[in-house]
Amino acid sequence: MAGLRRGGTWPAALALGLLAVAAALSYFYTEIRPTVIFGLRDDYAHAIPFQPVPAGLESIRAEDCGACHREIYDEWKTSVHADAYDDPFFQAYWEKDDRVWVCLNCHTPLANQQPTLIQSIPGNRVDKAVQVANPRYDAAYQREGVTCAACHVRDGVILGPFDDSAAPHPVKYDPAFRTTEVCHRCHSVVSGPLQFYRAGPCGTYAEYEGEFFMRERGFTCQHCHMPDVSRPAAANGPIRQGRRHLWRGGHDPDMVKRAVSIQVTTDPPAPVPGDTVEMTLKIINAGAGHTIPTGDPDRHFTVEFAVTDGEGRILREQRDTMGRWILWQPVILEVYDNRLRPLASRDYRFAYRIPEGRSDLAVDVRVRYHILTDGQHAMLRDSYGLQSDRPYRYTIYTRRFPLGAPADADAAPPVAKARTACAAPHTKATAG
């Protein structure tokens, strides 16, 4: 009987142990582990306070701003800022994250654009935020994303880089528009508790290289992402040295091409059957003042080599990845980061022995930029309603190298170069 009693305690003990583990995990995920992949900082933990319409204006809608600032409005309409809310990738990711309110603080940053107001955030846990309905919420205005007023309207005054404007509304000079500070709020997301990133999850601002690009060249974010332009800032105004409101970045292939320099060499330069050809692809962050790739941790480059025959069959291939490797559970741990800092370079090597008697082979070399992985794209499409034909990856360099064919000018090792996106004319890093 005693043996049975001792044996009978094991199922109960096991059940109690499992119950304790389940309770601990529940407490960990509901009370300790953050529910979003970043920490909160005061300036983006809350929406920009409600902004009234400045005197002399009918509204702060972008279209009404465009009545006088037409060229600026037309540029903004083409930008990722204007699409920050409607972007189908954002909408799918937001759906995956249960449409958590904090994402809106960068994608629709004005309180005028948000359906709820945050009263408090106990313990900085977004899932426990106290929210109330926003009586001044404008659903149509929300769809303007990062709209004009998000940067330019505060307390009934239009802010900008000039202090001498003769305008039909109050105007005030704000020095932030001539520094990187104006980009800081949304492009310097920080880590939170139990989030062990090597850098912030979307920390482009923190990655900015301050020695060469800022001190020696005097560049700010705007020099590349809002290029200089001479024109009237408003209809019938004087010609000023202003900036284009484009904000091209990782979603724009040309912008990525302008940030990198790619060089490919072969040894021997004209390989023949029987040779072992060694190829080196050097990729240089020649034009970005920040790490590449930057922004969302999912973004990455792939460097691809593929030996093909005359029928297009792949005989051998090699693929290397440049990006960040992150474990997301149970805590966030960034295991590896091999992205390129400004002005840094990396060599990728590939070797192949050409079989005797084969003159129909070639090596295809390709560098691609990925906004997200194939698996993530499929997951967002199948589970979270992603409906978009926008490319989420694209080629920034491609070249074919014949193996064993007679040498000619086109077979010479190419050197594709790119200068900084805001410097003098450049050669794009693409060929073939």
Q: Which domains does the chain have, with CATH numbers?
A: 42-243 (no CATH), 253-416 (2.60.40.10)
Contact 430, 264 (CB under 8 A): no
For residue 149, which of 109, 96, 189, 180 has the smallest C-alpha distance?
A: 109
% helix / strand / coil in the chain, to the nearest 5? 30, 25, 45
Residues with Cβ < 8 Å from 73, sequence gap 6 or more?
Answer: 62, 63, 65, 66, 148
pLDDT for 7: 52
Contact 224, 289 (CB under 8 A): yes
Tokens of 290: 């920040």
Tokens of 145: 């994303």
Residues with Cβ < 8 Å from 330, sequence gap 6 or more?
Answer: 28, 33
Please compute, for residue 319, the number of CA atoms within 13 A of its CA located in the half-sphere on the CB side.
5
pLDDT for 405: 58
Instruction: Quote the Cα angle for 156-159-162, to 5°.
Output: 140
Separation of alpha carbons 215 and 219, rounded Å: 8
Separation of alpha carbons 302 and 144, rounded Å: 34
pLDDT for 194: 93
Amino acid (1-letter code) at residue 138: D
pTM of the entire predicted model: 0.87
pLDDT for 143: 98
* Secondary structure (DSSP) of 378-411: HHHHHHS-----S-SEEEEEEEEEEESSPP-GGG
Q: How many residues does the chain have?
A: 432
* Secondary structure (DSSP) of 96-108: HTTT-GGGHHHHS
Separation of alpha carbons 400 and 392, rounded Å: 24
For residue 320, which of 334, 305, 307, 335 has the smallest C-alpha distance?
A: 305
Element (H, E) at 281: strand 276-285
Contact 300, 321 (CB under 8 A): yes
Residue ranges of the chain whose pLDDT lies below 50: 1-6, 407-432
Separation of alpha carbons 351 and 318, rounded Å: 10
> CA–CA distance from 10 to each of 4, 17, 19, 23, 409 (Å)?
10, 10, 14, 20, 79
What 3-state DSSP class applies to 184? helix
pLDDT for 264: 97
Pairing of strands 361-370, 393-403: antiparallel
The phi-psi region of residue 102 (left if phi > 0; otherwise alpha if psi is between -120 and 50; otherwise beta) is: alpha
Report which DSSP code applies to 415. Answer: E
Tokens of 52: 């009234």
Helix 374-383 × helix 88-96 angle, to 10°? 70
Contact 359, 407 (CB under 8 A): no
Unique residue bearing structure tokens 């520094």? 179
pLDDT for 431: 30
> CA–CA distance from 390 to each of 89, 285, 377 (Å)?
9, 26, 11
Report which DSSP code applies to 340. Answer: B
Separation of alpha carbons 18 and 2, rounded Å: 25
Unique residue bearing structure tokens 């044996």? 7
pLDDT for 196: 94
Contact 310, 337 (CB under 8 A): no
Amino acid (1-letter code) at residue 183: C
